Structure formats: structure tokens, C-alpha cells
Amino acid sequence: MTGKPAPMIAIDGPTASGKGTIAARVAGQLGWHLLDSGALYRLTALACLEQGIPADDAAGAARAAAALDVRFDAHGVSMAGRDVSADIRREEVGNLASQVAALAPVRAALLDRQRAFRRAPGLVADGRDMGTVVFPDADLKIFLVASAEARAQRRYKQLIEKGFSANLLTLLRDLEARDARDTQRANAPLAAAPDALVLDSSHLSIEQTVAQVMAWWQERASVPRA
């Protein structure tokens, strides 16, 4: 490959910090491609659930990840030709995704697939290790955070609006457990890249958060790329 890679913005952060929503809005405003890396791990988790692969079967989970027949489009996410947009947002899938994401073979199986999303005119990628592992040369790295309480409230509202039953205290405990698991795992732990800009969205609206990201991008884009 010759020439400079397509420009990109990496948005990392803990579960339910809003990074997926923000990434999608920013990608839409810029007219760029979007990578929801969390969806790939959720899809892997869903495949494991459906195939009866236990959470500690690293080789089996990696095979499931490598064999994913996935399609992202404006209508949602499909796997093997069926719409699984709602299925991958179930709490049991999210919890398992956090577990399989800690497995080195699974992360290796999905690495090249994630990097292939970077193409012209640009890419906005969200996840937990976009700026540290997958795209360490990203033009702009953002680490989006919010308090556990704010994130639990958001997830609760999101689930209720989609017709799922939910318990706020249970969601809070699950988020805290997933935070601990994500930050303490040996493989690509959740952490802000040294050159990332930290954005706390606890008391910001989606529009305000997007506006801040766009402002940072405009500042970064005005500087000639190396």
C-alpha cells in the first residue's frame, strides 16, 4: 500500500459511554465510513451463544469470530443474512462480548477485519482499543467517559424505549463489573491512549458532545498531516 492512509478519528471509552452514538453522528457529518468495533465482538458473542461455545473456549470463540458473515448498512447489522441489530444489544450478549473480547485469539481474529474499514474519504471508529491497538496512528483520538450512574441511566432508558425489561441497579452493577473486567484484562485493556483527548459526557447532551468532537477535528484537520 502506498501513500498516506485515509484520515480517521478513534473514539474509545467504557460501556454505555455513548461512543457508538457519537461516532455515528460524527461519521454522518463528515461523510465518512463508520466502524462499530463493539458490534464485531457482540456478533462474536451472539455466534458463541447460538453455537454453544463457552466463554472460556478461546479457540472456539476465535473460530466463530473469523467465520462471521457480517454486513453493516444504514438499516442495521446482519449476520448470515438475518437482521441481528436487536439481538446483539441484549444484555446477555453484551456481557459475553466483554468476556470474549478479553481473549487474545479473538482479538487477533478481528484485527485485520477492523483495519480494513479504513479507506477514503475517512473513518470514524469506536471501541475500547481503537486508538491504542487497532489504529495507533489515528489523526484524532478521543477517550469518551461518563460516570457509571449516568451510563446506567442511559442504558436503562435505551432498553425501555426498545421494549426490553430492565432493572437500573442491576444495570449499574453489570456496568461496574464490565468496567473492571475491561480495564484489568491482560489483552488490550481499556485505557486512554497517551495522546487521546478525554471528554466527559456525563452532563453533556449528544449534540454538545458531537459539537466538541467536531471542534477538535477541525483544529486537528487545519494542521498539515505528517
Report in angstroms the alpha-carbon separations of 132 from 7, 11, 48, 86, 188: 16, 11, 26, 29, 8
Name the nearest CA neighbour of 105 among 53, 68, 64, 54. Answer: 64
Name the nearest CA neighbour of 128 among 58, 184, 205, 83. Answer: 184
The Cα 86–Cα 79 span in angstroms is 12
Full-prediction pTM beyond 0.95? Answer: no
Give domain limits for the chain. Answer: 8-218
* CA angle (191 as vertex; 120, 65 as ends), nearest 5: 60
Is residue 13 within 8 Å of 38, Cβ to Cβ?
A: no
CA 158 from chain centre, in angstroms, equals: 17
pLDDT at residue 187 above 80?
no
The Cα 70–Cα 178 span in angstroms is 25
Retrieve residue 184's grid coordinates. Answer: 484489568
16: left (phi over 0), alpha (psi -120 to 50) or beta: left
Crossing angle for the helix pair 58-66 and 37-51, to the nearest 10 degrees? 120
Q: Tell me the per-residue pLDDT of 49-95, one tens digit each, with 9 for 90 and over.
A: 999 999 999 999 999 999 998 887 767 888 999 999 999 988 899 88
Task: Please tell me the CATH code under which domain 8-218 is placed.
Answer: 3.40.50.300
Q: Tell me the per-residue pLDDT of 88-138, one tens digit each, with 9 for 90 and over.
A: 988 899 889 989 988 999 999 999 889 999 999 999 999 989 999 999 999
Render 78-110 in DSSP notation, one character per residue: EETTEE-TTGGGSHHHHHHHHHHTT-HHHHHHH
pLDDT at residue 209 above 70?
yes
